[in-house]
Structure 1
């Protein structure tokens, strides 16, 4: 597995690193710990400030390396192949370019501070990566009660889509702490949405078509949840099946609050099964408003 961990401020980098002490990556993972130095645009426009800019760049690189050096030893102790990386540019485009060139399976973003401006910048970076990155995205937030000796609570949003199955497969590769609890969540949209989805079929009696489609989907969902539950149980994880109705994004966020989740795992196209934009809006909403860390899984494009 190829992973990029993007780090910024010391506190936020520590939060992300501690999360990886609880939810561990597979042994042998190639992990690039990256800091992006953003050069002030004004400084580039004034030739007389080039000397000061060179000194600032030198100090910024040294500071970034000190930050990364503090994170590397415990990550290497987990059996990861860690490589420190310091680059210059705008964080979003640099991370996206790195993910595409390295063909990363996962990019990890820390909370990036708590100010309103930093939350906005985090949203712009994370949404760029959610939309464009070739692999999965993990947004780490500070609220985590899980520990290696106590376990954690994970909400795994499932339906019968390929993306949801990829999310389940990705979760199975991670080394969750013993005693962890997985909530397998399936959201059933109401009949009105189902009716709107198939209204272009040209059928006179759409009600029967809706009922048949919903029965078949429920049958396939129950089989899929049963298989996933067995796999989780084989890994020593406690499993609960939870069914909800309504808006997928709202149901996922509500379940995360109710079960005091440490992590939400879902496919990049969400749970609606419509077109890419509408489906993607589910994962974007959960990633932005989730009360805990959020892992959005996308199969890497070949």
Structure 2
């Protein structure tokens, strides 16, 4: 009989928002209980960067989004002390990048928040969680933000 973990590899999709915190916490709890490797993934939405017409504006926007990604994965690192964690800042369409990354890494579970950024950002990004749920080849755990 093989000794296999329930979830060997878990992907946490983070956008760094306060509303995404519940998803990070749940994913870390599961990872601790299962002894999982965790991939914390932040995706820089290329559609936002392409909308900046002027080069200086685009460079500043890229730097700002990259910094936001660093902060987001660092928050996961803080809450995942003692967990085998790797962080990634990727670029592209968030849902597509998340599902493709999960496939490449043979992830057993993707954890996403159902509410991330709000307002115009939410409108522009669409529902990443919905698209991940529809397109992922592995189970997806959607975590509702705690109030």
One of 56, 59, 82 as aligned partner of 1:211: 59
One of 8, 13, 23 as aligned partner of 1:152: 8
Contact 1:195–1:207 under 8 Å retained in 2: no
For structure 1, list consecutive stretches of 5 or more residues without a partner in the other structure: 1-144, 200-204
**Aligned partner of residue 292 in structure 1, secondary structure:** coil
**Aligned partner of residue 275 in structure 1, secondary structure:** helix
Call closer, same or farther: CA 1:275–1:239 in 2, change over 3 Å.
closer
Contact 1:253–1:291 under 8 Å retained in 2: yes
One of 107, 116, 121 as aligned partner of 1:274: 121
State the shift of 1:253 in Å: 0.6
Indicate the residue corresponding to 1:289 in structure 2: 135
State the shift of 1:276 in Å: 4.2
Residues 280-299 of structure 1, C-alpha deviations (whole Å, 9 max, x = no match): 2x211211221111112221
In 2, Cα distance between equivalents of 1:294 and 1:251 = 15
Contact 1:147–1:177 under 8 Å retained in 2: no
| Aligned pairs, number | 144
Call closer, same or farther: CA 1:146–1:214 in 2, change over 3 Å.
farther
**Aligned partner of residue 299 in structure 1, secondary structure:** coil
In 1, Cα distance between equivalents of 2:64 and 2:42 = 15
Call closer, same or farther: CA 1:256–1:271 in 2, change over 3 Å.
farther
Indicate the residue corresponding to 1:298 in structure 2: 144
TM-score norm. by structure 2 comes to: 0.78
The root-mean-square deviation of aligned C-alpha atoms, in Å, is 3.0
Contact 2:116–2:122 under 8 Å retained in 1: no
Contact 2:31–2:83 under 8 Å retained in 1: no
**Aligned partner of residue 145 in structure 2, secondary structure:** coil
Contact 1:155–1:183 under 8 Å retained in 2: yes
Call closer, same or farther: CA 1:152–1:298 in 2, change over 3 Å.
same
Q: Please give the residue correspondences for 1:90-239 in structure 2 after superposition, counting only pairs within 5 Å.
A: 147=5, 152-174=8-30, 176-190=32-46, 192-196=47-51, 206-232=54-80, 234=81, 236-239=82-85
Call closer, same or farther: CA 1:271–1:208 in 2, change over 3 Å.
same
TM-score norm. by structure 1 comes to: 0.41
Call closer, same or farther: CA 1:283–1:251 in 2, change over 3 Å.
same
State the shift of 1:251 in Å: 0.5
State the shift of 1:237 in Å: 1.7
In 2, Cα distance between equivalents of 1:296 and 1:210 = 32
